[in-house]
Structure formats: structure tokens, C-alpha cells
Copies of this chain bind each other. A is one copy, B any other.
């Protein structure tokens, strides 16, 4: 879920944006002035910032410049001012888009999607690490001591399901139906065979697994 930081001193607009954005599946944080906005962005780095220029404590462009000293998060500026110079200032300070009030919510959402699409190119999907091996879901790759580990398609699928649910218990039925299909829900044999292969390839001591843990009678669990 993408997190959006909305910065505006108009509490009414703030609430309206929060509701709309949450309804569209975004995770929303808010701030009412420049100082708290910068603080919030630092403590919980958002995936995107919506920034009103008319803040009580700081100039909008100054907020952007401050933010840009350490973050490249996409910034969409809102403003009541139509003046061309305001737009130029904000954009050159580091903003990515500029929308003048009043604006349509549909347009705001579309511009948001465009910005996020762009930034998704650079954002690396985080790799999950343990002290023994690293799983990079984006690159579809597993490394151990810097060395690539060759996994067969089935091994990978199984590892993927487990890694996507870190620390959570994945039932045997869930694993079987996600890897082999719903029709194989009874073939718990498969799990034992492939789990053993995974452990041989990934665990330092396959006999005493520390990251690929079996919960007897129920399923398996991935421990980062």
C-alpha cells in the first residue's frame, strides 16, 4: 500500500483528501504546516507528498527545497495561486507537478497515479534478508554469501509464497494450492521433498533449520 503525506493547513480540505485517498487504497498521513511536514516525512518516508503552498509557517518552495536535500519523493503541489511565477518557483524548487485550486478529484488522482508510475521505475522492491541468505523478489534471485543460488521453478514458487508471508504460518493447503494448484491439496509429500531441497540449498545446517521452519501438522513458516 502506497503511503501519501498530505500537507495542508485547511483542515476541511485535509479531511476530504484523507477520505478520498483512503477510499482509493492509499495509506494517508497528514501535516498542517511545513515544519511538521518535514518531520513526518523524515520519520515515516512516504511514497508521495501532496503539498499546499499556502502554509502558515514556511514558504512552500522552501519546504520543497528542504525536503529535496535528502529525499527524492515525488511532490505534487496544490495552490490557490494561478500566477505563472508561483508555478515556476515551486517546480524549480523540486516539485514534480502543480495543481491549482479548485481542482477535480479525478484529475488529482490521475496525476497521482502518473507520478507513482514514474517513481515505481526507480524504487527497488526491497530484498528480504536473513543472516544466511537474501531473497530478491523483484529480480527473482536468491543469494548466499554473495553467490547466486540456483533454484528450480517449483523451489522458487514455494520459497516465494513463504517469503511473501514473513513470520506468518502458511498452511500446507495454502502452499500446495499456490504452487501446484488447488487440486493437489492432499499431496503433502511434495512439500517434504521440496522443503528439504530448499533447506539444503539455503540453510547453513539443513538438519536444524532456522529460517524455514516446520509447524508439525499445520504448515511452514519463514523466519527472517
Which residues of A pack against B, CB within 8 Å?
Answer: 72, 74, 84-85, 87-88, 91-92, 94-98, 104, 106-107, 109-111, 113-114, 117-119, 121-122, 138-141, 152-153, 156, 167-169, 215-218, 221
Contacts and interface: CB of A to CB of B under 8 A. Distances in A.
Contacts of A109: 88
17 contacts: A72-B121, A84-B104, A87-B110, A88-B106, A88-B109, A91-B110, A91-B114, A96-B118, A97-B97, A97-B111, A118-B118, A121-B122, A122-B122, A140-B168, A140-B218, A140-B221, A153-B218
B96 A216 contact: no
A44 to B, nearest CB: 22
A64 to B, nearest CB: 11
Given A138-B168, A152-B216, A95 B114 contact: yes
A72 B120 CA distance: 12
Contacts of A221: 140-141
Lowest 6 A-B CB distances belong to which pairs? A140-B169, A153-B217, A91-B110, A84-B104, A88-B110, A91-B114
A174 to B, nearest CB: 11
A122 B118 CA distance: 9
Nearest to A169: B140
Contact of A169 (B85, B111, B141, B217): B141
A155 to B, nearest CB: 10
Q: Which of A152, A215, A221 has the most CB of B within 10 A?
A: A215
